[in-house]
Amino acid sequence: MKCPYCGWEDSKVVDSRPADDGERIRRRRECFKCGKRFTTYEMIEMVPIIVIKKDNSREPFNREKLTTGLLRACEKRPVSIEQIEAVIDKVESKICSGNQREVTSARVGEYTLEYLKSLDEVAYVRFASVYKEFKDINSFMSELEKLIREK
């Protein structure tokens, strides 16, 4: 860390403590050259996850958009908002654990279906019908048959 007084690039940490409810760390430093003390703050840099859409456009990952889709799929089903949020948390966690800054919308859909399948089969089929863009009744039936075979 560069000293703000003399510009020397080496200092030592004298004191370190949490700040802003643990969101940042406050560090008191002392310059090795001039001996003056100064304060720095350290915080996690949140890098947004970018979703690559089917048309190759890019947009930031949007939890609210996924929430809306899941609420529609789970409408009139015995699925609580806490369970929906848990699915979204798992999907977001899986995306972030891949250490990738970009993810395709297809991958987001696959992760969502993976967690939704064990939660509620009807909601799974509803979400799949939108996500997989079933063209006709045969593609819809094919997905249902696959679900039945796996069960």
Interatomic CA distance for residues 76 and 122, integer angstroms: 10
Interatomic CA distance for residues 61 and 48, integer angstroms: 7
Question: Any idea where the domains of the chain sit in the sequence?
Answer: 11-43, 50-150
pTM of the model: 0.64
pLDDT given at position 47: 77
Long-range contacts of 67-71 (CB under 8 A, 24+ apart): 69/112, 69/127, 69/130, 70/112, 70/116, 70/123, 70/127
pLDDT, averaged in runs of 10, over the chain (151 residues): 94 92 90 96 83 94 93 94 92 83 91 91 87 76 80 73
pLDDT given at position 19: 85
